[in-house]
Amino acid sequence: MSNSKASAIALTISCLIVAAFAASFYDEMDITFGGERAKILNRGQDLSLSLDQYSGSGFQSKNEYLFGRFDMQLKLVPGNSAGTVTTFYLSSQGAGHDEIDFEFLGNSSGNPYTIHTNVYAQGKGDKEQQFHLWFDPTAAFHTYTIVWNAQRIIFLIDNIPVRVFNNHEAAGVSFPKSQPMRVYASLWNADDWATQGGRVKTDWTNAPFTASYRKFSANANIVGPNSKPTSSVNENQAWSTQGLDAAGRNRIRWVQTKHMIYNYCSDYMRFPNGLPVECSRSRFR
């Protein structure tokens, strides 16, 4: 192979990797609602979302992805955040959509945030797990990660696994694996349900509420009519087969024993005719 041809191939691969890892919010994201409440700052390195009594705000990725690892650093609304919901999630579109959720449910001052996770496949969710954190998510930035491959979905916080949702299609459980998804984030008012089932309402005297985002990265397969798939570049990336080793299983057991506050797989009142099929399968492998 000639040096010029090798250089051209190297440049092409480099461009594809940059497309997957580009850090600038100007390059990666579009503001979707909220007008000036959503602000890209620091030459594209930071993004803030605000909520007031008139509107929340949000953004979405320019690209669609089919599998990958998605990292975002967030610093959540401080103080009395009751009634507010801050999000970072993946979703496709349409009635039978797929979705992988991190939602951060605010609370009154001094009480912990609730980290709400869920997985939708072909329009059906109802697979919630919720956690209280072992740190104050409003005091500093922390990294929230979604790993999505054909075998499983892993939710991580500061690289600590907190939840795994495995592919149990063989048992008749739908799994999101064929619909490309975009990355979304938003800050909005949900005081009809977000805090203590809606009993604690948003105190608008504290508005505007602001959450901060930074250091987004997507090591992922980009798909769509305007983007060439990057599977040839990323197919050997660790996320494509990522699971949990022994240390990871120990960490997730610690999180779920000490910090989980709700698990749909333990809610017998909600499922009087029997828990969902996946609840009887291995949780962590």
Residue 109: what pLDDT? Answer: 87
pLDDT attached to residue 226: 57
Domain spans of the chain? 25-223+236-280
Q: Which residues make Cβ contacts (< 8 Å) with residue 220, sequence separation at least 6?
A: 20, 65, 66, 67, 68, 69, 70, 230, 234, 239
Active site residues: 99, 103
Give the per-residue pLDDT at 128.
97
State the pLDDT at residue 284: 62
User: pLDDT at position 98, please?
Assistant: 98
**Which CATH number applies to 25-223+236-280?**
2.60.120.200
Q: Which two tokens stand for residue 54?
A: 């008139």
Cα 193 vs. chain centroid, distance in angstroms?
20
Query: DSSP labels for the chain?
Result: --HHHHHHHHHHHHHHHHHHH---HHHHEEEEE-GGGEEEEGGGTEEEEEE-SS--EEEEESSEEEEEEEEEEEEPPPS--TTEEEEEEEE--STT--EEEEEEE--STTSPPEEEEEEEBTTB----EEE--SS-TTTS-EEEEEEE-SSEEEEEETTEEEEEEE--GGGT-----SS-BEEEEEEEE-TTTTTGGGTS---GGGPSEEEEEEEEEEEEEEESTTS---HHHHTTSGGGG----HHHHHHHHHHHHHTEEEEGGG-TTT-TT---GGGGS-S--
Rounded CA separation 148/184 (Å): 15
Q: Which residue has the tokens 């480099």?
A: 14
Give per-10-residue mean pLDDT for the chain (285 aa). 41 37 83 98 97 98 97 97 96 95 94 96 96 97 98 98 96 96 97 86 95 96 67 63 93 96 96 94 65
- 14, with CB counted inside 10 A (0-12, 13-18, 19+), is exposed
pLDDT of residue 198: 84
